[in-house]
Structure 1
Amino acid sequence: MEQHASNTVPSTLSGADLALLDRYWRAANYLSVGQIYLLDNPLLREPLKPEHIKPRLLGHWGTTPGLNFIYVHLNRMIRARDLDIIYMCGPGHGGPGMVANTYLEGTYSEIYPDISEDADGMQKLFRQFSFPGGIPSHAAPETPGSIHEGGELGYALVHAYGAAFDNPELTVACVVGDGEAETGPLAASWHSNKFLNPARDGAVLPILHLNGYKIANPTILARASNADLRDLFQGYGYQPFFVEGHEPADMHSKMAAAFDAVFDQIRDIQAKARSGGAGTPRWPMIVLRSPKGWTGPKEVDGKKVEGFWRAHQVPVSNCRGDDGHRKILEDWMRSYEPENLFDADGRLKDDLQALAPKGNRRMGANPHANGGLLRKELSVPNIGDYEIKIGDRGSQAVQSTEIFGQYLRDVLKLNAKNANFRIFGPDETDSNRLGSVFEATDRVWMENIEPYDVHLSRDGRVMEVLSEHLCQGWLEGYLLTGRHGLFSCYEAFIHIVDSMFNQHAKWLKVTRELAWRKPISSLNYLLTSHVWRQDHNGFSHQDPGFVDLVANKKADIVRIYLPPDANTLLWVGDHCLKTYDRVNVIVAGKQPEPQYLTMDEAIKHCKAGIGIWEWASNEDNTIAPDVIMACAGDVPTMETLAAVSLLREMIPDMKMRVVNVVDLLALQAKEQHPHGLEHGEFDRIFTKDKPVIFAYHGYPYLIHRLTYKRTNHENIHVRGFIEEGTTTTPFDMTVLNELDRFHLAIEAIERVPGLKEKVPDVLDRLHLKLAEHHAYVREYGEDMPEVRNWKWPAS
């Protein structure tokens, strides 16, 4: 392997300055090791005994010394240049280092006064780490300065860019671990620089931390030559600076020089752009090569540890039961010379305390890492200005998302000055009928723009890239630093970010329990191009199961909405943009669909979440109806109403109640979800003993899961998506999944006791209609005229 040379000159810092940096780094390393191992004797005032060691050793050492090394050098840059920097810790197990550094700078004790800056506080700091009732091993929500937990790898860099958008004074230092660099989302994230405008956005400084190994194997990029890495990252649009070695004094000098160079370059890029300069900048980045487990034991039991994968987690594993292991640990910790770092009371010595930034310049106290502190309410227009005048119910077909797009256009206009709202999506804003937003802004694009390009500019506020991971990660970073946004996506492919949603929901769940973490704007999804209208895409684009995943999360975190028309979508969208600390999922089709409710009716209906549509029902209010025809989702609502109109014509004496569900989780019991209906109200709407034919947008089992505690659950019969479909007509999709009007009508007849025996001719007519449909679409390639042209009968 070639010898790697740095492309920076040594630092001009004095030997004394470098020695101070090294001592601060050793203090962070000492605290990191103590968190992994010690229950007591935090300052090693006596020889280590078995009872000083934790019975279960949990945590990760391998990446931590490199993270600490970066932190101390960032502190120097903040102090020297008065910079606004947050630290994005990509390596998943960097928790000991992040906790150690925020403790050294004083932030940790300010937030958690019980963890005081003395020997007693240090002992509690050590004990709590990865301990029952304590804190996790990652840079979790409990960790000051963190907006990225890193438990699941791949998202550090995309979060960093999301945080930097519209934050012109902020620099996000993002450490990318070499294990994380092997993931697909991280590989795509390097392209985020094509969307960062130096004139109005902040800066991201990627630091690729190559310590050679992941859990039990080498990493790909660590084995690449510097020449190959330089070519790779220059191709991505970066200028890499290499810092490498293992001797601390030499490495401190190299890192200080590299930081001076990259921060000079960032300053110059921004100054040029903000004075009217054009062109796409080549942003700097750092490639840091240091040994895994740096400064730890070289060998344990005759096996290589430092600079190898054995340093990844707990390098010395049996310190309670093995005297030799305990001696290795004690020698390791004493090598940092704690008596030269902490005073007699256990406080960091004054000359080292002076190295940390002050106040909000400390990375643990930076308000951008607690975005609720900076969040301002979004300015929104009056939804009444976009009301669809429905005329006769269901008589006109409107693209509901097109109307919502007009609303979003004006949200962008109202918040243009504050620059705190963006729309994210994978190249589908126009496709999803939100094109009105381009009357207010463009798509952001920092590469070349051709004269024939449409709606591209360097100042655009619509973020489009064909990576759902990037859209999700950008939005998360944007929200976590105090702003607002919306993610629009095809329903089937939102599954690509299932795990990212999961991580964000878990983050929100924890932060809601931390008083010092202030609320952030909700993560809002608009899922369209949904399962029931994939006319030209087919089976691969048919999957409504994202809502099933969402429904698994803590009840107070998630909301799922299925507005049936434009006015309900306007209320739901407006409501979601005003909420905080939630994940809101809105499912709404983009194709023309009937409009049912006036704006006043829509507002009342959406606030309730569930309601009886009396105008569509024909029940006798003095007695219970024969059947409840329930629906959730735009296509299921249309098919339910069509089934009701058929049954009213064919069986005039049959009494039906139509129930529409907008807020899906209102189906749960009140004790399960804050929006859940009281049992008495649920029984009033759905009755205690009458059959319920429930037409649902997604997989049927979810309705059963949400209603299993209800009195009438055994009489709820759900029809939804059953994994049938192809490239076919819209109505044929519903027929293939038995969600169509004919199947719903047949189900209703068969579920009302004694009815099917009375109307066999009606069942025959309905089955005949299904056969007629089957033949017609396969001959003509479109739905029957009576289906295409169906409208709710005028009253």
Structure 2
Amino acid sequence: MTMQTWPTGTGVAAHLTSDEVDRLHRWWTAANYLSLGQIYLLDNPLLREPLRPEHIKPRLLGHWGTTPGLTFVYAHLNRAIVERDLAMMLVIGPGHGGPAPVAAAWLEGTFSEVYPDVAQDYEGLRRLVAQFSFPGGMPSHAAPETPGSIHEGGELGYSLSHAFGAALDNPHLVVPCVVGDGEAETGPSAASWQSTAFLNPVTDGAVLPILHLNGYKIASPAVWARMPEEELLALLRGHGYEPYVVAGSDPTVMHHLFAATLDRCLDEIAGVQRRARESGRPDRPRWPMIVLRSPKGWTAPAELDGAQLEGSTRSHQVPISDPRSNPDHLRLLEEWMRAYDPASLFDDSGSPRAVVRRHSPSGPRRMSASPHANGGTLLRPLRLPDFRDYAVEVDPPGATWAAATRKLGELLRDVLRLNEPHRNFRLFSPDENNSNRLEAVLEATQRTWVGPVHGDGERLDPEGRLMEVLSEHTCQGWLEGYLLTGRHGMFSCYEAFAHIVDSMVNQHAKWLKTSGELAWRRPIASLNYLLTSHVWRQDHNGFTHQDPGFIDHVMNKKAELVRVYLPPDANTLLVVADHCLRSRNSINVVVAGKNSEPQYLGIDDALVHCTKGVGIWEWASNDVDREPDVVLACAGDVPTMETLAAVSMVRREVPELALRVVNVVDLMRLQHERENPQGLADVDFDAVFTRDRPVIFAYHGYPWLIHRLVYKRHNHDQFHVHGYREEGTTTTPFDMCVLNRIDRFHLAIDVLDRAGEPAARAARVREKWRNKLIEHHHYVRRHGEDMPEAREWEWSG
């Protein structure tokens, strides 16, 4: 290509031919026109008649400020895709730029393919603009309804980690990611810049960050936009990037500058990958990135009512605020829209003119039609080993002790091995894999790391499949990006710190809910959480590490999306894990202990028990051929052990009492089937818990959740739930149970209190157990460990 200097004397070298600039600019203009139309118009989409108030939506929603920068980037990426035949997927961080990807998808034809009633004609164009931010239409953000999107963007901070997750194990994929200057201020975004230390140029794709600085957030300056350029570039270089700045407002000059910069970045990415793949040495490179400085609300009118509009916070949302009732505003809006010259962009039928259509890639090369952005179309089922091969021998119940997560680690090790040829499974953990007793996975893989290694003991490798970084946000973002682009994974985390990603799991749940209602969105692998180092075994770390509330958080999501599992031992954990890894479009939360604990069910019994989700443990009960006096229910490994200890005590001291032991693995089964497709019917619930007998329920988490789940059941008033009462400190394991009254003594005393007449003769027994609680209190504070009878307890029936 012949390079020439601008006649304006700017000294900027021309990078594009005049024809290329024309195509770029027309596509960008068309996308801006459609974006503006989506914000304002209810009808008259091509201004074929004068704009009237009834053509304006009665309620104006959407955001203009970041949109023209996004359409500008999109236009340039399209040019690169066509010229280089690239597989590319765009992640848009500024969620407020929702009109931009919708406009792009319609110009590329993808929107009309997935929504045939929004065709590339005049009526389709009218529907396109009318339905945006309108009841029953398109949301204002880049939501699941938007073709080509995997990132909703409503809550800022996660775009870059999503982009890196998408690039993992996608060696031919380039993932540009626009990070807005407001998003750049968030904590999750700050951590995600470090992802370059985990991207392998041999086996992974590439991420091209585009930091879009337009100067302002809703009302205040953006910190990164005001940062001195020397400071900004030093910060980005410190994160492993080579930043290139494109700044300006003149569209023609900016087209040349951005095109030249984008080509340079893509050349550098190709060079990095070629050198790494030819040499087999995936040393950590300095990846290129772009810093784009453009006016906020670019191409908007300069002023409104005597105040600056373009380049100010006033263009953030709806720049011209009252065109429906203010004639001056209506006139200015019409002038603005006509300045884009829609007749030169769309033909008489309402379709994009040929010069606009020629700028778009075709088929799956269109970013709005990328199969990676509809990951279920690429999803390959995992090859899974037989979970029975990892079973713990159990005979009789309670005699064998084992650490449940160690057995799970052995299973996950072989999942990694079996799926290594496809490179479609990874584990994610914020520096807690070994602490959670999953060390066995390191027999099959190493920790992912692209950079210096000091000694063999670090277990680091660029091709490792265990992703560890001390940011729960980044781990979650990587995993979401990985799942949404058609792969599988699991997130292991300390239970108390899963709360750090509360907002992110909210967003993912809402994405899954909406995606499930779209026929063209294919199901993806489930988001699987393993929460261990849980509340009842965080006695050594203290109060800050003791919180089981993540369960409560996810239970607020749609019932058909969420499953919560509380396996009481290793074999039930193996069965649950196998199910979770096979499931689709769910959020599975598994809470399991990492310490050595009693094992109760052989693998065949575990399979039956987990399939039911709730079951009577006949081997621990003594109510055969009669109704129980009391039902003792439990959910969770430590509550199960304490319940069985209480049963043993009561049966020894008050043998005439009939006790039924019920264990709950699948928490959602407690809900009524009318509220949850996984819930038990009343007849099944009553058969297990009875219609009128007291139920003493030892539950892993906050007790009120059980009441919420069973409140419509016949005997809800008879449920007496023991759980975490927000009492804790640095203490002993059994003392944690006592502090929260989930221990065997409190449970056994409650049995006597609820059982009625047979237990009324057991006053001395009750007093004996209360004395034991006092003895325990003084013992642990004198010796620093639990009493031998608590430490050495074994089930005796």
Structure 1 range deviating more: 221-230 or 536-545: 221-230
Secondary structure at the aligned position of 1:288 is classed as strand
Q: What is the CA deviation profile of residues 422-463 of structure 1, one whole-angstrom value per residue up to 9, with x for unaligned ones?
A: 000011111100000000000011121012442111110000
Name the residue aligned to 1:253. Answer: 256
Which letter does structure 2 place at the counterpart of 1:386?
Y
Q: Does 1:463 align with 2:473?
A: no
Match of 1:38 among 34, 37, 41: 41
CA distance in 2, matches of 1:121, 1:381: 50
Which letter does structure 1 place at the counterpart of 2:153?
G
Q: Does 1:530 align with 2:534?
A: yes
Q: 1:436 to 1:9 in 2, by over 3 A?
A: farther
CA distance in 2, matches of 1:347, 1:726: 67
Name the residue aligned to 2:160. Answer: 157
Which letter does structure 2 place at the counterpart of 1:546?
F
Q: Does 1:400 align with 2:389?
A: no
CA distance in 1, matches of 2:733, 2:698: 16
Name the residue aligned to 2:172. Answer: 169
Secondary structure at the aligned position of 1:585 is classed as strand
Match of 2:22 among 14, 19, 23: 19
Q: Does 1:215 align with 2:218?
A: yes
How many residues of Structure 1 are paired with residues of Structure 2 in the alignment? 787
Q: Does 1:549 align with 2:553?
A: yes
Q: Does 1:677 align with 2:680?
A: yes
Q: What is the CA deviation profile of residues 149-179 of structure 1, one whole-angstrom value per residue up to 9, with x for unaligned ones?
A: 0000000000000000000000111000000
8 Å contact kept, 2:426–2:490? yes
Match of 1:111 among 104, 109, 114: 114
Deviation at 1:11, TM superposition (A): 4.1
CA distance in 2, matches of 1:546, 1:681: 28
Which letter does structure 1 place at the counterpart of 2:477?
G
Which letter does structure 2 place at the counterpart of 1:189?
S
CA distance in 1, matches of 2:242, 2:107: 32
8 Å contact kept, 1:397–1:594? yes
CA distance in 2, matches of 1:181, 1:758: 68
Match of 1:412 among 413, 416, 431: 416
CA distance in 2, matches of 1:59, 1:706: 38
8 Å contact kept, 1:8–1:258? no
Structure 1 range deviating more: 451-460 or 481-490: 451-460
CA distance in 2, matches of 1:16, 1:438: 55
Match of 1:454 among 442, 448, 458: 458
Deviation at 1:752, TM superposition (A): 1.3
CA distance in 1, matches of 2:702, 2:788: 29
Which letter does structure 2 place at the counterpart of 1:328?
L
Q: Does 1:389 align with 2:393?
A: yes
CA distance in 1, matches of 2:359, 2:456: 53
Alignment of 1:307-346 (within 5 A): 307-346=311-350
Match of 2:443 among 439, 444, 466: 439
Deviation at 1:772, TM superposition (A): 1.2
Match of 2:670 among 667, 692, 695: 667
8 Å contact kept, 2:282–2:450? no
Alignment of 1:372-387 (within 5 A): 372-387=376-391
Deviation at 1:255, TM superposition (A): 0.6
Deviation at 1:684, TM superposition (A): 0.8
8 Å contact kept, 1:8–1:242? no
Q: What is the CA deviation profile of residues 110-148 of structure 1, one whole-angstrom value per residue up to 9, with x for unaligned ones?
A: 110100111111110011000011110000000000000
Which letter does structure 2 place at the counterpart of 1:689?
D
Q: What is the CA deviation profile of residues 676-695 of structure 1, one whole-angstrom value per residue up to 9, with x for unaligned ones?
A: 11100101110011000000
Match of 2:134 among 131, 137, 144: 131
Name the residue aligned to 1:292. Answer: 296
Q: What is the CA deviation profile of residues 250-283 of structure 1, one whole-angstrom value per residue up to 9, with x for unaligned ones?
A: 0001010011100000000000110124521000
Match of 2:726 among 719, 723, 726: 723
8 Å contact kept, 1:612–1:657? yes
8 Å contact kept, 1:138–1:151? yes
Give the gaps of 5 or more residues in structure 1: 1-6
Secondary structure at the aligned position of 1:532 is classed as helix
Match of 1:617 among 599, 610, 621: 621
Secondary structure at the aligned position of 2:126 is classed as helix
Q: Does 1:655 align with 2:672?
A: no
Which letter does structure 1 place at the counterpart of 2:661?
V
* TM-score (ref. length: structure 2): 0.98
Which letter does structure 1 place at the counterpart of 2:253?
D
8 Å contact kept, 1:399–1:591? yes
Deviation at 1:228, TM superposition (A): 1.5
Name the residue aligned to 1:766. Answer: 769
Q: Does 1:94 align with 2:97?
A: yes
Which letter does structure 2 place at the counterpart of 1:476?
E
Which letter does structure 1 place at the counterpart of 2:56?
I
Alignment of 1:478-627 (within 5 A): 478-621=482-625, 623-627=626-630
8 Å contact kept, 2:654–2:759? no
CA distance in 2, matches of 1:169, 1:298: 43
Secondary structure at the aligned position of 1:275 is classed as helix
Which letter does structure 2 place at the counterpart of 1:302?
G
8 Å contact kept, 1:756–1:763? no
CA distance in 2, matches of 1:375, 1:197: 22
Which letter does structure 1 place at the counterpart of 2:318?
V
Q: Does 1:711 align with 2:683?
A: no
CA distance in 2, matches of 1:11, 1:793: 85
8 Å contact kept, 2:31–2:107? yes
* TM-score (ref. length: structure 1): 0.98
CA distance in 1, matches of 2:115, 2:11: 40
8 Å contact kept, 2:88–2:370? yes
CA distance in 1, matches of 2:13, 2:386: 60
Secondary structure at the aligned position of 2:619 is classed as coil
Name the residue aligned to 1:776. Answer: 779
Q: Does 1:191 align with 2:197?
A: no
Which letter does structure 1 place at the counterpart of 2:707?
H
8 Å contact kept, 1:700–1:719? yes
Name the residue aligned to 1:3. Answer: none
Secondary structure at the aligned position of 2:634 is classed as strand
Q: What is the CA deviation profile of residues 265-317 of structure 1, one whole-angstrom value per residue up to 9, with x for unaligned ones?
A: 00000001101245210000000000000001211111111001110000001
8 Å contact kept, 1:426–1:471? yes
Secondary structure at the aligned position of 2:576 is classed as helix
CA distance in 2, matches of 1:382, 1:332: 65
